[in-house]
């Protein structure tokens, strides 16, 4: 199995290529959300580096009554927090310099979390950017109660086995432009 570092390099290049080749993938993925998925609060993200845009998915869930939220990094080694967000709300750089809702926005706890991916496997394994933000965040949210972690990715980012170590948090589902995958745990 390739090292995480090597796999990230390969997958970043592949993801950029897939983003160029499949501009309608985000809309196609949104159409494949399970009809019964009606969260109270959904945590999304602002796409970067060829990440699949969660906008269409978030719009569908908002139409089902969900409050939308975006992540905020308060400190590099801490879990992300989430603040309510509506299209057009002001954004300001967080501790990592990424655009995030300001302190004026209400802090919320998502019951569904949409997570960007570099790679995923059919067992719910995932590979992210390498900062551990979503691992820390999922661990903290799961200690508080039930959260559904849905990875959002191009189908072409699937790998046979995503390299996982002890602290890595797995996904409850993966949504791609070709399907909604519920992992088969061994």
The 10s digit of each residue's pLDDT in 146-175 is 899 999 999 999 999 999 988 899 999 999
Q: What is the mean pLDDT of the chain?
A: 96
**pTM: predicted TM-score of the whole model, two decimal places:** 0.96
Give residue for tokens 């897939």. 18
Beta carbons within 10 angstroms of residue 74's beta carbon: 12
CA-to-CA dists, residue 40 to 55, 87, 118, 168, 184, angstroms: 17, 18, 27, 26, 26
Q: How confident is the model at residue 123 (pLDDT cuts 50, 70, 90)?
A: very high
Nearest to residue 185, comparing CAs of 141, 116, 122? 122
Domain residue limits, the chain: 4-32+41-173
Stretch 22-43: mean pLDDT: 98
Q: What is the pLDDT of residues 57-112, one digit of tens each?
A: 999 999 999 999 999 999 999 999 999 999 899 999 999 999 999 999 999 999 99
Q: Which fold has domain 4-32+41-173?
A: Rossmann fold (3.40.50)
Structure tokens that stand for 57 in this block: 């998915």
pLDDT value of position 111: 97
CA-to-CA dists, residue 85 to 19, 27, 34, angstroms: 25, 20, 23
Taking 90 as the threshold, does the pLDDT of residue 1 lie above it? no
């Amino acid at each position: 199995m390739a090292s995480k570092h090597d796999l990230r390099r390969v997958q970043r290049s592949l993801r950029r290529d897939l983003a160029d080749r499949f501009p309608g993938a985000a809309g196609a993925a949104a159409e494949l959300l399970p009809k019964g998925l009606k969260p109270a609060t959904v945590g999304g993200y602002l796409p970067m580096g060829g990440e699949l845009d969660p906008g269409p998915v978030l719009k569908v869930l908002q139409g089902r009554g969900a409050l939308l939220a975006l992540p905020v990094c308060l400190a590099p080694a801490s879990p992300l927090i989430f603040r309510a967000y509506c299209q057009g709300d002001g954004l300001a750089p967080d501790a990592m310099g990424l655009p995030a809702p300001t302190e004026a926005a209400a802090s919320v706890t998502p019951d569904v979390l949409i997570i960007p991916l570099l790679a995923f496997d059919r067992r719910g394994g995932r590979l992210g950017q390498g900062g551990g933000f979503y691992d820390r965040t999922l661990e903290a949210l799961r200690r508080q109660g039930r959260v559904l972690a849905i990875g959002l990715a191009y189908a072409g980012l699937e790998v046979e086995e995503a390299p996982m170590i002890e602290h890595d948090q797995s996904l409850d589902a993966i949504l791609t432009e070709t399907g909604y995958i519920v992992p088969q745990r061994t």
